């Protein structure tokens, strides 16, 4: 349960339960689900997804829970195409409204096949509300013909207790030493190694800074198909000692890495219709009091990252990324101010408590 959407739904459901809502979750069985389920404050009903007739199976499982719980609303966590169609039947015959949470990365499902397109569009058409995870996603929905008056924005949140500035400087020093900071400024990038995450231009920016006499350490956490390409460029540019590819990072390790960083660089781009729908890692970095560097397009700007909390650049040019890093290193006073502003921004607008209360208000407003 490490994916961004899974974390979004888990934290949101937990927040809804804490707000006094009676919540029951229906989901298919996943590896090691027993250990996860026993630590949750709400019941989770698991089923084994069959290879065939999965929509009928989901419908039957959902019907059983509806008869037991008599819910006021059904919450669909993502666009499920044909597997989501059973909620339509319960809306029509049992008069139970439903809402659908949309993530930009799932919208191409409407282009996958005719049956998926019809199913997804029908599911969204009859939803009482369509919840978009960012302004970017909202625009994509409108472009696909869905009525704007039915769409509300519901962004992911951040656990601001877990992701918070470190109060133990000695621990930070130990972490930096573990990653070989050697007193140099440390740059961090976290994300899947794919073209849209733009790690290649970060690597080139580190080489540019080195040519200018500014040597930094850069840690890139994540796995993906771009790994070999990145390794090749790092070696070719002669910056093996400056750039580390450390692979997958758990949630605890992500926080550790952010605490050890001076700057968090997340300049994702739009690559062949593959895009960043929201800047959750940027918000986690801001919650820890770190200045961030993001691209001027896509979901990270929708997360409210601005020149108050970091630097927004056109990151299709590595020189722009290099200039942003250099500026934040040379103007530590401004970098510190951005970090503090970022923390305040996240606490005020993106704590899970606030997101859960907003969701409760939205669901409470639905006709019964």
Give the position of tokens 């970017």.
136
Which regions of the chain are under pLDDT 50? Answer: 1
> Residue 1: what pLDDT?
42
How much is the pLDDT for 95? 92
**CA distances to 156, 175, 283, 298 from 268, in Å:** 18, 26, 14, 8
The CA distance from 328 to 326, in Å, is 6
Residue 263: the pLDDT is: 97
The reply to whether CATH 3.40.50.360 applies to domain 4-157+352-364 is: no
**Taking Cα atoms as reference points, which of 216, 243, 200, 219 lies closest to residue 327?**
216
Q: Which residues, in sequence order, are bridge partners of residue 292? A: 264, 310
Per-residue confidence (pLDDT) for residue 117, from 0 to 100: 81
CB proximity list for 326: less than 8 A, separation 6 or greater: 209, 212, 214
Residue span(s) of the chain under CATH 3.40.50.2000 come to 4-157+352-364, 169-349
Hey, is 365 helix, strand or coil? coil
In the chain, the largest separation of any two C-alpha atoms, in whole Å, equals: 70
Distance CA 315, CA 335 (A): 19
CATH number of the structural domain 169-349: 3.40.50.2000
- pLDDT at residue 108, as a whole number: 56
- Strands 98-102 and 74-76 come out as parallel
Residue 224 CA to residue 271 CA, distance in Å, equals: 15
| pLDDT at residue number 233 | 97
Cα-based distances in Å from 153 to 7, 88, 262, 352? 18, 22, 32, 15
How much is the pTM?
0.83
CA 325, 329, 335 angle in degrees (round to 5)? 95
Strand partners, 129: 99
Please give the Cα distance from 110 to 81 (Å, whole number).
8
């Amino acid at each position: 349960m490490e994916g961004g959407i899974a974390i979004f739904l888990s934290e949101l459901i937990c927040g809804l339960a804490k707000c006094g809502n009676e919540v029951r979750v229906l989901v298919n069985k996943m590896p090691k689900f027993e250990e996860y389920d026993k630590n949750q404050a709400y019941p989770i009903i698991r089923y084994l997804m069959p290879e065939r007739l999965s929509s009928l199976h989901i419908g039957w499982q959902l019907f059983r829970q509806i008869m037991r719980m008599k819910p006021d609303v059904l919450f669909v966590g993502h666009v499920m195409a044909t597997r989501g169609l059973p909620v339509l039947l319960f809306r029509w015959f049992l008069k139970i409204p439903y809402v659908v949470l949309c993530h930009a990365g799932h919208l191409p499902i409407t282009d996958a096949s005719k049956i998926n397109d019809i199913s997804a569009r029908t599911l969204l058409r009859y939803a009482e509300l369509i919840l978009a995870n960012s302004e970017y996603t909202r625009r994509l929905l409108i472009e696909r013909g869905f009525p704007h008056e039915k769409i509300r924005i519901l962004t992911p949140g951040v656990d601001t207790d877990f992701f918070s500035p470190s109060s133990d400087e000695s621990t930070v020093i130990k972490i930096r030493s573990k990653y070989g900071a050697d007193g140099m400024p440390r740059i961090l990038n976290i994300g899947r190694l794919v073209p849209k995450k733009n790690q290649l231009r970060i690597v080139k920016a580190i080489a540019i800074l080195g040519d200018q006499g500014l040597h930094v350490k850069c840690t890139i956490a994540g796995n993906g198909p771009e790994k070999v390409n990145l390794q090749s460029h790092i070696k070719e540019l002669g910056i093996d000692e400056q750039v580390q590819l450390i692979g997958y990072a758990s949630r605890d390790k992500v926080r550790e890495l952010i605490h050890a960083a001076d700057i968090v660089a997340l300049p994702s781009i739009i690559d062949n219709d593959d895009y960043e729908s929201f800047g959750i890692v940027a918000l986690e970095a801001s919650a820890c009091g770190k200045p961030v560097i993001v691209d001027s397009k896509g979901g990270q700007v929708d997360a409210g990252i601005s020149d108050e909390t970091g630097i927004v650049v056109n990151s299709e040019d590595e020189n722009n990324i290099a200039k942003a890093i250099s500026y934040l290193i040379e103007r530590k006073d401004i970098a510190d101010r951005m970090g503090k502003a970022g923390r305040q921004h996240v606490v005020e607008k993106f704590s899970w408590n606030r997101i859960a209360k907003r969701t409760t208000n939205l669901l409470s407003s639905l006709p019964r």
